[in-house]
Amino acid sequence: MTLLRKHTTAIRALLHGRTVTMDGRYVQLRDVALDWPPPQVPPLLVGARGPKTVALAAELADGVILDGDPEHPIEKTDFWTFTRDTQSGDPNWVLVATGSA
């Protein structure tokens, strides 16, 4: 979980044109910056499988890519779609759609 938090934090900062320095157990960066940061920062998506990772991804990222095992599918009957406004800086997720299978 610490590795995912550090990587996500560093990538977000780099995409926003910042210079990043981190000296930790998992991530060591010294004055790293993108030569050409994107003019418009793309959404940062994080892949997750377990509940703790999904919760961390929801906290840190702009979206979550859910992973599953095709050999052992989980039956899903309700689908919720959330989004958040990355331009305003509001960290809250907003429910935009629901559905059922």
Q: What is the pLDDT of residues 34-66, one digit of tens each?
A: 999 999 998 898 888 777 888 888 888 888 877
Cα separation, 11 vs 83, in Å, equals 20
Task: State the residue range of the domain holding 26.
Answer: 2-100
pLDDT confidence of 101, banded at 50, 70, 90? low
- Write out the E strands in 1-101: 20-23, 28-32, 45-48, 63-66, 78-83, 94-100
For residue 43, the one-letter residue type is P
Report, as an integer, the average pLDDT of 8-12.
94
Quote the DSSP letter at residue 25: S
Give residues with Cβ within 8 angstroms of 69, minimum separation 6: none
Residue 47: partners with Cβ closer than 8 Å, 6 or more residues away: 57, 64, 65, 66, 67
Domains in the chain, number: 1
